[in-house]
Amino acid sequence: MAVHPLPPRRTSAPETPDPPAYDRRRAWLILAMVVAFMMINYADKSVLGLAAVPLMDELAIDKSTYGLISSSFYVLFSVSGLVVGLLSARWSTRTMLLVMAALWAVAQLPALVATVPALVAGRLLLGAAEGPAASMSMHTLYGWFPPGRRGMPSALQIGGAALGTAVAAPVLTWFIVNLGWRSAFVALAIISAAWCLVWYAVGKDGPYSAAAQRAAAGAAPASGTPGAGEGNGTRPTAEAPAPPLSRLLLSGTVVGSVLSAFGSHWALAVSSAWLPVYLQTQLDLTASTASVAVSAVSVLSLLLLLSVPALVDRRKRHGRAGRAADGIAQGAAVLVSGAALALLPFAEQRAAQLALVAVAFAAHAVAIPLHYVTTAAVVPAARRGPVFGVVAATGTLPGMFVPYLTGHLVDGAASEATGYAIAFLLSAAVMAVCGAVAMLAIRPDRDARALGGEG
C-alpha cells in the first residue's frame, strides 16, 4: 500500500518542455553587437550623401546623375529583404548577419574606381546586402530575449540606426575633408570587416530561436510555416487556418501601416541623399557644420524613437489602447514631418530653417517601429513572416526613385532653390496623404477580431 503508482507517471516526459534559461550577459552582448551592426548599416547609407558635393565636383556629374546613383541603392533593397525574410527560418541568423556585413565591406570598394558605373554597382550590392538587415537583426535579438524582455532591446536596435547616422556624420566628414571622399568608403569597409571578425567569435543563435525551440519541443512548427511563433516568442501550436494573404494585406490596419512607412521612408530617402547637399549649397553651411546638423537631426530622431513607442506601450498596458495609441501616433508623426517640410522653403531666418529641417527629417522616424507593431497585432502568427516581408518591401519603395526624382526636379528648375522648394512641397503632399490615411485606417482592435490576430 505504501507504493503509489502516480510519481512514476509524473516523471514521464512532459509534452511541453520548460522554457530555456535567460542568459542575460550573453543576450546583452549580442544586443551590443546588433546595435553596432545597425550603426554600420546606417553609416553605409549616409556616406554617399556626406560625400556628394566633392564627388559631384570631381566626376563632373549633375544632380540627376547623382540622384540615380543614390536611388540604385534601393533597386534590390526591398526584393532582398522580402526574399531573405521568407527564407530566414531555414538559415542561421548568425550566418546571415555575418554574410551581410561581409558584403557591406566589399560593396564599399567600387568607390575607389570612382566612375558612375562603379558607384552604381557598389550601391546595388550594398542595397541587396542591407535590405534584410533590420528585420534579420531583430530576428536575431528575439532568439536571445524572452517575450517579456524584448521592449528595450527592440528600441535600442531601432535606435542604433539613428545613432549610426549621428556618429557617422562628423566622423566620416572628417575623413572626407582631410583625407578625400574615398577614404570614408575605405574606413567603412574596414569597420564592416572588423565587425565580422568579432561576430564570428561571439555570434550565436539564441535559445529562443525557432531552431532551438523546435529541438527542445521535438516538433516542427504548426501550419506548415517554419518558425511560426518566433516573432512573439510563443511555441508553435496548432491554430485555426489563417486568412488568405490577400485579405490580410488589404485590411485597413495593414494598408494604413504600409502608408505610414511609405511616407516615413520618402522623407528618409530625401534626407539620406540630399540633406547634406542642401545644407551646404542652400544654407551655406561648411561640410563640418553640415555634418553636425545631420548628427543633431539623428539625435532628435533617436530620442523620439526611444520615447514615443514607449509611451504607446504604456497606454496599452493601462488599458488605453486604440486609435490614439496606434494609428494616430504613427500617422501624426508623418504629418508633422510633412508640415515642417512644406514650411521649409518659405523660412528665411537660419534658426527657423534649421529647426524645420530637424522636425522634417526626425519626427517621421516614429512611424517605422510602430507600423510593425500595428501590423503584428492583426496578423496571425502563421502569416506574420510573409506579411512582414511584403510590408517591409512596400514601405521602402520610395528609396528606389525619390533621390533621382529630387535631383531631376532640382536640375530642371529655374534655380536650385526653386527646385528644392518643388521637391519639398511634393514630398510634403505625399506625406500628408500617407499620414492622414494611416490615422483613419489603422484600427488594430477591429481588424484583430476579424482576422484572428492578437489585438
**For every residue of the chain, which 3-state class applies, written as one string?**
CCCCCHHHHHCCCCCCCCCCCCCHHHHHHHHHHHHHHHHHHHHHHHHHHHCHHHHHHHHCCCHHHHHHHHHHCCCCHHHHHHHHHHHHHHCCHHHHHHHHHHHHHHHCHHHHCCCHHHHHHHHHHHHHHHCCHHHHHHHHHHCCCCHHHCHHHHHHHHHHHHHHHHHHHHHHHHHHHHHCHHHHHHHHHHHHHHHHHHHHHHCCCCCCCHHHHHHHHCCCCHHHCCCCCCCCCCCCCCCCCCCCHHHHHCCHHHHHHHHHHHHHHHHHHHHHHHHHHHHHHCCCCCHHHHHHHHHHHHHHHHHHHHHHHHHHHHHHHCCCCCHHHCHHHHHHHHHHHHHHHHHHHHCCCHHHHHHHHHHHCCHHHHHHHHHHHHHHHHCCHHHHHHHHHHHHHHHCHHHHCHHHHHHHHHHHCCCHHHHHHHHHHHHHHHHHHHHHHHHHHCCHHHHHHHHCCCC
**CATH number of the domain to which 303 belongs:** 1.20.1250.20
196, 318: one domain: no
Average pLDDT, the chain: 82
Q: Tell me whether residue 219 is in a domain.
A: no
**CA angle (383, 386, 390) in 5-degree steps:** 130
Residue-wise pLDDT for 69-118, tens only, equals: 988 988 888 788 778 877 766 778 888 899 999 999 999 999 999 899 99
Residue finishing a domain among 179, 204, 229: 204
39, 182: one domain: yes
Residue-wise pLDDT for 127-181, tens only, equals: 999 888 887 887 787 778 775 566 677 778 877 878 888 888 899 999 999 999 9
pLDDT of residue 37: 95
90, 37: one domain: yes
145, 254: one domain: no
Q: Tell me whether residue 281 is in a domain.
A: yes
- Measured distance CA(318)–CA(321) in Å, rounded: 8
Residue-wise pLDDT for 269-319, tens only, equals: 999 889 999 999 999 999 889 989 988 998 898 888 878 777 776 666 666
253, 111: one domain: no
Q: How many CB atoms lie within 10 A of CB 27?
A: 20
195, 250: one domain: no
pLDDT of residue 337: 96
Which residues 6+ apart lie within 8 Å of 226 measured at CB?
89, 90, 210, 220
Among 38, 43, 445, CA closest to 272: 43
Q: How many CB atoms lie within 10 A of CB 9?
A: 8
pLDDT of residue 176: 94
Place of cell 526653386: 418
Q: Tell me whether residue 257 is in a domain.
A: yes
Q: Tell me whether residue 19 is in a domain.
A: no
Residue finishing a domain among 204, 233, 255: 204
pLDDT of residue 45: 87
Identify whether the C-beta of residue 191 lies closer than 8 Å to the C-beta of residue 39.
no
Report the number of distinct structural domains present in the chain.
Answer: 2
Among 163, 326, 149, 153, CA closest to 254: 326
Poorest-confidence range of 21-30, 82-91, 216-225, 272-281? Answer: 216-225
The whole-model pTM stands at 0.73
pLDDT of residue 415: 93
Phi/psi region, residue 319 (left: phi>0; alpha: psi -120 to 50; beta: rest), is left
Regarding predicted confidence, which is higher, 169 or 448? 169
Q: Tell me whether residue 185 is in a domain.
A: yes
Q: Tell me whether residue 13 is in a domain.
A: no
Q: Tell me whether residue 4 is in a domain.
A: no
- Measured distance CA(223)–CA(221) in Å, rounded: 7
Residue 155 structural domain: 24-204
Identify whether the C-beta of residue 248 lies closer than 8 Å to the C-beta of residue 137.
no
Q: Tell me whether residue 48 is in a domain.
A: yes
296, 394: one domain: yes
Identify whether the C-beta of residue 402 lies closer than 8 Å to the C-beta of residue 269.
yes
Among 180, 184, 181, CA closest to 168: 184
294, 432: one domain: yes
Give the model's confidence band at 225: pLDDT under 50 very low, under 70 low, under 90 confident, else very high.
very low
C-alpha 341, offset from chain centre? 21
Give the model's confidence band at 196: pLDDT under 50 very low, under 70 low, under 90 confident, else very high.
very high
Residue finishing a domain among 145, 178, 204: 204
Q: How is residue 270 written as a grid cell?
A: 530625401
133, 278: one domain: no
376, 306: one domain: yes
Give the model's confidence band at 10: pLDDT under 50 very low, under 70 low, under 90 confident, else very high.
very low
Mean pLDDT along residues 51-68: 91
Give the model's confidence band at 321: pLDDT under 50 very low, under 70 low, under 90 confident, else very high.
low
289, 406: one domain: yes
171, 262: one domain: no
Mean pLDDT along residues 346-369: 92
- Measured distance CA(180)–CA(17) in Å, rounded: 58
